[in-house]
Structure 1
Amino acid sequence: MRVIEENLRSRIRKLEVELKVLRENELPHLNERISELEELIKRKRSPKEFYEGLIGVLSLLSFICVFSTVTGFFSLTLGSFLSAACLIALLLFVIAR
């Protein structure tokens, strides 16, 4: 296990040195572009984006459950349970947002 860790550390050091050399030898606009890409990699999604995506998925799932129950694809008991669960989860996430 220690050998693997040392191997990974040496690879990381080599990559850091290579990145430093590339930064020193590259044109300024490429250096700026590298910085922009690094910032994009580090950027984390906000909870608002997460909630909006989750609300969209739950809305679609709720519609599918209700539609499937009405058309008879699900039994009335199963469809009602799934529809209620999806609608309650949707309501909770809308309130949490």
Structure 2
Amino acid sequence: MCPEGCFRWGGPVSEGDIVDREDFISSVQTRLADGQSVMLSGPRRIGKTSIAYEVIRRLKQKGFYTASVDFFRISDRRELAVSLIDTCLENRTGIRLF
């Protein structure tokens, strides 16, 4: 049993639960804002998705258009296109269709 206050696990965490990654998040955010490509890699369950979501949140807050697509839920090109279009519309309107 996990004592109260232990690290959360089982999926991406919120911005308040990301610990000791500020310099890395800022670096990734700056590189993406400058138009560079970035790839996050590492072993399972070390926070790659949480970091990616936090970078996306910060960039979106600064007015950048962002997109997040879960490829494990995409089975064909049509679903990819719909997902990208939905994400782009959400950027413009704030409304998520699917």
Which bin holds the TM-score, normalised by the shorter protein?
Answer: under 0.3
User: What TM-score results when the alignment is normalised by the length of structure 2?
Assistant: 0.25
User: What TM-score results when the alignment is normalised by the length of structure 1?
Assistant: 0.25
Greater RCO (CA < 8 Å, at least 6 residues apart): 1
Say which one has the larger Rg.
1
